[in-house]
Structure formats: structure tokens, C-alpha cells
Amino acid sequence: MKVPEFKSNSHNREYMAEYVASVGMEVHAELLTQTKMFCRCTVAFGGEPNTRTCPICLGLPGTLPVPNRKAIEIVLRTAIALNCQIAMDSIFHRKNYFYPDLPKGYQVSQYGETNPLGYYGYLEIPTKDGGYKKIKIRRVHLEEDTGKLMHMPQGGSGVDYNRAGVPLMEIVTDFPPDIENSDDAKEYLSQLRAILIWIGACDGKMEEGSLRCEPNISVRVVGTDAYGTKTELKNLNSFRSVQLGVQFETRRQVAVVEGGGTVAQETRGWNEANESSYLMRVKESENDYRYFPDPDLVPMKFDEAYIQSLRESLPELPLSKWKRYQEEWKLSAKHADQLTNERNWAEFFEEAVSLGGDPQLICNWMIAEFSAALNEAGLTARDSFITPKHLVDLTNLIKAGTINGKIGKDVFAECFKTGGMPSDIVKEKGLTQVSDSGEIQQVCMSILEANPDVVTRYKSGQTNVKGFLVGLIMKEGKGRFNPGMVQETLQEMLDR
Ligand code: ZN
Ligand code: MN
């Protein structure tokens, strides 16, 4: 049947039944290793085609692969972070199929229920109502990436094997799927990506293809048990496209069913430009890859002590920090989120708090002044002059009333430029806040005397002119007057 056209932002239509989507997520992540999975070729994005290859990753006869220990360790650490069970004995399999980007004619991968390095795990995602939802993970396994086919400007196609043999981790959610809408799909991917970057497993660059997500989607009528036929989506290279892709595919399938048709088992591509999916190929049946244990690779065996040492080496994960910042330091969910979206940033915050900083004040300065300054300078927290100690010093000066918030901003700007300590700058420049009531009274008095017309307007009910007077007084005090005392003194005088 002909599928009606859908725009991604079309309104919900009236349907005969209510539908629910089921979304499985298959994520491939290129690992942050120096070298490839089974040879010593360099791993790096880009480069002249076929310059990072050797007889092993080109699959020439007579070569033997040697597994990359670091890659195995990264997958194990990820599996632990994703609450998986660990396969203490595990082997590599050959997944056999023919395609020009696969030089050996098979991909080294891991097959089986409990053979993948990690299995039966879960990832927690925050939900809109402030709770969490567990997304079950079926497996986390290690394999190798393929090469890339390229269409040549002069016609024909070439193949670049620079990527062939790059360590690749595959993370697959469990069936039946826990993800039932596009928001959860996006949140899952976002949490997963954050964890992978956090623990140094992958750089998470979706636009460069080092993190790739292929969701499979099916729909069924609410209340029924039978899952619908699923389609798989490819070419999604941003969070937004994953979210829009799942939305589109859900709507498309519902329309097919509502129109009396049946959803075909297909692989569909995502067209970023017109925000729709298109048919790539129809899957007549599951491919038979003839998986078998790779005879060139020795079985892996891990002991409890090794796994325990990996477990202990893992940093606290973002979601755990997010929860803890709210519980321990009473920060808002939004603030906790802004502090935990990057590991260095969160660690900077915690270091400042451990040095005696007030958590809320440190947080305020980090997400406002500090973030803005870093953005403008194009720096990260760790390569700027500002250290946790600077922020603690600055916020403590403000908290103690030594300087006011406005002077604090000037002092911060100076620290950011020179790396000087806030208390030194305050001392050198004589920026200490003036809380001497005699001096403040004197200036208030002289400003009122110099502006009798403004005072008259105030007395006649235009109370908003008070701000103008405060401004004049603060200016006279070169910004160093205690603003609370200025407000109070002025009010007293005006009320006389
Ligand atoms: Zn190689
Ligand atoms: Mn795979």
C-alpha cells in the first residue's frame, strides 16, 4: 500500500486505536585506544585513505591477530559501569559475510547469550516526573570496525581501510524493550554517551561516527502482547535525529497499520534534510552469519581480583553525582545537571567544596561568571588560570562581607586574566567593602542635598526614583559600599 506522507511536526491525528512504540537501541562505540584491535596500526579520525593499515588489518594470508589488552579493559569497565554481569571466560567469534569494506570476509565479534564481555545489565535514565527508569541492557561486546566505502569524484568507488580493525564496542538493549517513546530513546543515548565519555571509553563524536546509534522500532496496540514487526533506522548522526527518527518511524508505522497494511521488516535510512526515513533494503530473513569461534584468538579468562580492581578504578558516574548533589548539598536538579554534564567540571566543583567553599555559592559562580568567561576565551576549566582555590577564596570574601557581589565580579575578571588570588587583589587594590556607617551616611546625605528635586519626587509618591539615588551613592563609593547598608541608610533618610 501507499504510505501517507508525514511531516515530523504534524499534529496527532485521530486513530482507531491507541498505540505504543517499542524501541530497541543498538549502539556502536569506537574505543579510545592508541592502536587497532588486533594490530599496532594507529587509531585516529581522518587521514589519507589506506595509510593506517598493515597486513593484519588488511586480512592478508598468513598474518595472526593479537588482541588489544586496553580495548578489552575498556569494554569490561563499560560493562561494569552499565551494571552488567561479567563473562569471566569469553571468546571471540567470526561473523562471516561478504562486503568490500570487510577485508577478511568476516568481522571478529562476540556471539552468544553469556559470552559477551558484559551481559544482563541496565542503565538508569531520569524521567520527566523526577524519578528514574531502568533500561535493561542485553549485552556489551567487543568487535572490530569495518573500512569505509567512498564514492570517488572521478566515478566509481574506493575503499578506505584506515578504520578497518578499530576496536568497536557494541551495546544492545534487552528485549522486550523498556524504551517506549522518542524522549526515552534520546535520554538513553544521552546518558550512555555521557558515561562513555566520562570513563574515557569513547569520545562520543556522533558527527564523526565514533558513536553510532541504530534504533529498531515497532508499534503495537496498547494492551496487546504481540510485538509488531520492527524496522531498523540508520544514518542518525545526532541526538536530534535519533529523537526525530524514532518519532517519524512510529508515526509512519501507525499510519501503515491504521491504513489496513502490515509493517514490513526493513532497514531504513534517515534523511536529515527533510526529516523522514526512506527504504534502504527489505529484510527477507535474518542473515545467517555462520558464527564460529575464531581459531586464531585464544580465549579470554579474567579473575575476580582483576575485575574488582577495574570496579574500584571507576569514577563516580554522572547520574550518581546528580542525585548526590541534590541530596548532600541541596542543589536544584537543574544546577546539579549543569555541574555534572562533564567530568572535569564536576570534579572542579567537588574540589572547591572540599576546600571549604559554600556549595551553592561555588555552583552559582561556576555556572554564571566562570562558564561565561571560559566560553568567551574558548578554554576549559582546567586550562584557565582559575583553580578551585580561587573560587573558594572569592566566594568566602563575599560571604564574609569583605567585598560585595559587584566588586566580586571585577575581582573575578582580574583573576581570570592574571591568575592572581582574589584576597590579594582585594588587598592590593583596596577593594574592601565599606561598611563604615559614618562614611556611608555622609555620602548619602551629600547626594540627597545635591538632588532636592529627586527627593521631592520620591516624597510625592514616585518611590522608584530610589534606585537612581542608590546608583549615585554606589558610584560615589566606587562600588565598594555595602549595598545593604546603603539601602537601609538611604531609606531612613528619605523616611525622615
Ligand atoms: Zn593494521
Ligand atoms: Mn556490531
- Ligand 2 mean position, distance from CA 198 (Å): 22
Q: Please tell me the distance between residue 296's alpha carbon and the centre of ligand 2 in angstroms.
A: 20
Instruction: Say how many Å lie between the CA of residue 193 and the centre of ligand 1.
Output: 27
The ligand minimizing its distance to the Cα of 55 is 1
Ligand having the closest approach to the CA of 66: 1
Expressed in angstroms and rounded, the spacing between residue 200 Cα and the centre of ligand 2 is 20
**β-strand pairing of 148-151 with 157-160:** antiparallel
pTM of the model: 0.83
- Ligand 2 centre distance from Cα of residue 183 (Å): 24
Chain centroid to CA 279: how far? 30
Q: Which residues contact 224 (CB under 8 A, 6 or more apart)?
A: none
Report the separation in Å between the CA atom of 28 and the middle of ligand 2, taken as the mean of its atom positions: 7
Distance of CA 161 from the midpoint of ligand 1 (Å):
9
Distance 36 CA to ligand 1 centre (A): 7
pLDDT at position 95 is 96
Q: Is 83 left (phi over 0), alpha (psi -120 to 50) or beta?
A: left
Calculate how far, in angstroms, residue 97's C-alpha sits from the geometric centre of ligand 2: 13
Which ligand has an atom closest to residue 110 CA?
2
Better-scored residue on pLDDT, 484 or 115: 115
Q: What value does the mean pLDDT take over residues 117-130?
A: 92
Torsion sign across C-alpha atoms 17, 268, 234, 271:
negative
Ligand lying closest to the C-alpha of residue 53? 1
**Which residues, at least 6 apart from 188, have a Cβ–Cβ distance to it below 8 Å?**
25, 123, 125, 135, 173, 179
347: which 3 cell numbers?
570534579
Chain segment 390-448, per-residue pLDDT in tens: 999 999 999 988 888 888 999 999 999 999 999 999 888 887 778 888 888 999 999 99
Q: Assess whether pLDDT exceeds 80 at residue 4.
A: no
CA of 200 to the centre of ligand 1 (A): 23
Question: pLDDT (tens digit, 9 = 90+) per residue, 174-205?
Answer: 999 999 999 999 999 999 999 999 999 999 99
Q: Write down the number of H helices and E strands in the chain.
A: 16, 16
